[in-house]
Structure 1
Amino acid sequence: MLESPLTLRTTDYHQLPREPGLLANASRLQLAWEKVQQACHCGNPQLLGEAATISAIASQQLLPKPGFDALLDLVESAGLYGLNVAHSGSVVGLLLDRRRHDVEFLQWRLAESDIAAHWPQQHLLAMVPGGVILQ
Structure 2
Amino acid sequence: MSLLNRNMTFRLFIIFCVFVFMLESKVFSQEKPYRDPFKPPFRRPANAARKSTVIENNISKEPLDVNVEGIVVSDYLKQAIIDGEVYKVGDTLKNKDAKIVKIDKGIVSIMYNGIMYEEIVRKRGREE
How high is the TM-score relative to the length of structure 1? 0.22
Q: Which has the higher helix share?
A: 1
Higher Rg of the two aligned structures: 2
Q: Which has the higher strand share?
A: 2
Taking CA–CA contacts closer than 8 Å with sequence separation of 6 or more, which of the two structures ends up with the larger relative contact order? 1
